[in-house]
Structures are given as C-alpha cells and as structure tokens.
Amino acid sequence: MPFFALSPTGTVDATSLRGRTVSATAPATGAVLGWNGSAWVPSSGVTGPTGPESVQWLYGSGAPSAGIGRSNDFYLDTTNGILYGPKTSGSWGAGLQLQTG
C-alpha cells in the first residue's frame, strides 16, 4: 500500500509510484527519479542523442563572405534587401532580391 504524506512545508513524501518502490535516498539538486529495474532512484537523468545543428539566420550590410555561417544557414543583406541561402558546400549562391516599399 503506497504511503503519501504532505509535510508542513508543502513537500510530498512517497514510498511508491504505480506500485513500485521509491528509494529513500535523498536526491541531489537537479536529480530526477529514474527506474533502475526494481525501484525508482535518484538519477542525473538521461542524455538523448545529439540532434542536428540548428539553422542560423545571419544578417549584415552587403553580401556575405564565404567565411561566415555554416551549411543550411541563411543571410540577409540589410542594405540591399537580398536574402541568401541556404548555404551549401561553403557557398551562399545567388541571392534573392526581396520586394521593398
């Protein structure tokens, strides 16, 4: 039978979750409860796989140089209203003139 108690400070004490034992070990700051196969125990959590790099929107005055940005980034020439990208194989390619006014 699970036991729950609400303390005067508003914290909850639990001895089980869904019928599974919760460890009595106090967790460290930032810890989460993780299932170890037989009980819920304090854990630092799980790191997932690395995702793809995010796309950046860069901007500046004039056309971008080849040295800035990464593949799939975009660049806005704020002086002339030209959009470049996505950058591929180290090149920005031809820009697209945006409509003004």
What pLDDT digit, counting tens, does each position of 8-17 carry? 666 667 788 8
Q: Is the pLDDT of residue 87 over 70?
A: yes
Q: Quick one: 39 and 74 in the same domain? A: no
Q: Quick one: 30 and 70 in the same domain? A: no
Which domain covers residue 70, as residue numbers? 52-101
Q: Quick one: 58 and 99 in the same domain? A: yes
Quote the percentage of the chain above a pLDDT of 70.
Answer: 85
Cis peptide before 52 (omega within 30 of 0): no
Q: Quick one: 67 and 101 in the same domain? A: yes
Q: Quick one: 57 and 100 in the same domain? A: yes
Quote the percentage of the chain above a pLDDT of 90.
Answer: 44
Q: Tell me the HSE value of 15 on the side-chain side, using a 13 A CA sphere.
A: 5
- The per-residue b/e assignment along 22-59, b for 16 or more CB within 10 angstroms, e otherwise, is beeeeeeeeeebeeeeebbbeeeeeeeeeeeeeeeeee
Number of domains in the chain: 2
